[in-house]
Amino acid sequence: MTAFRFDDLRQYSDVLHTRQGDAVTVRFVEPRDGEELQNYFRSLSAGSRYNRFLGAMSELPKALLERFTRVGEREGFTVVATMRVDGFETIVGEARYIFHPHNSSFEFGLSIDDRWQGHGIGAALMKNLQCRAASFGSMRMFGDTLRSNTAMISLAKKSGFAFGNNSDDWKLVHFEKSIDTRPQDIPCASWRIAAASSEVQAPALAN
């Protein structure tokens, strides 16, 4: 189970690539990212925000924004996918995941900037999340999305997830995937190292 050093979060960054070969950095969000993360959500189309939060929302409420920017609080973690656009680091996607230690499951949700959808960022981020799930020792990872969210459903299908009904809301579809990867077999180097070096430690929590 991965144990994090919160004094140096950037050591857990990964570099992914779009279909065109452009570099995408995936890193833990930091408190200084709060305003930019809020602007990212505001810039999403109404449809993309609706899909991400399963309902109408123009921006993150203050309390939720603060939760999003606190890594490790309540076992929750937020990562941002950034690219250099016109010389500036720009958020082009994000993901939020929660590790549930009582049943070794990994719950997640993600979004990609409308302008960057179709470039393979979602697929690359999904693979990275599977590495992160394996580093926790998760047995399965899962999510829920609206039945009308064809983009997320397609991404999950291509990533090998199985689908079922959400027992609490008929408008949602539940998808999950078994994780059976030993620490030494995690395909992402950074998370293979993190898992192997702290295999017997419990994850640290932010203050």
Q: Measured between alpha carbons, how far is 111 from 49 in angstroms, rounded to an integer?
A: 8
Q: Measured between alpha carbons, how far is 131 from 154 in angstroms, rounded to an integer?
A: 20
| Contacts with 201 (C-beta within 8 Å, 6 or more apart), sequence order | 1, 3
Provide mean pLDDT across the span 135-145.
94
Cα-based distances in Å from 99 to 4, 48, 126, 140, 163: 13, 25, 16, 10, 20
Residue 6 has pLDDT above 60, yes or no: no
Query: Shortest CA distance to 73 belongs to which of 95, 94, 52, 99?
Result: 99
| pLDDT tens per residue across span 8-50 | 666 778 999 999 999 999 999 988 999 999 999 999 999 999 9
Let me know: does 106 contact 138? Beta carbons within 8 Å: yes
Let me know: does 93 contact 80? Beta carbons within 8 Å: yes
Residue 72 has pLDDT above 90, yes or no: no
Q: Measured between alpha carbons, how far is 183 from 127 in angstroms, rounded to an integer?
A: 15
Q: Is the pTM of this model over 0.85?
A: yes
Query: Residue 117: what pLDDT?
Result: 95
Helix (H) or strand (E) holding 39: helix 34-43
Domains of the chain: 9-197 (3.40.630.30)
| pLDDT tens per residue across span 148-188 | 999 999 999 999 999 999 888 899 999 999 998 888 888 88
Q: Measured between alpha carbons, how far is 181 from 199 in angstroms, rounded to an integer?
A: 13
Residue 109 sits at the vertex; the CA angle it makes with 63 and 99, to the nearest 5 degrees, is 80
Residue 81 has pLDDT above 50, yes or no: yes
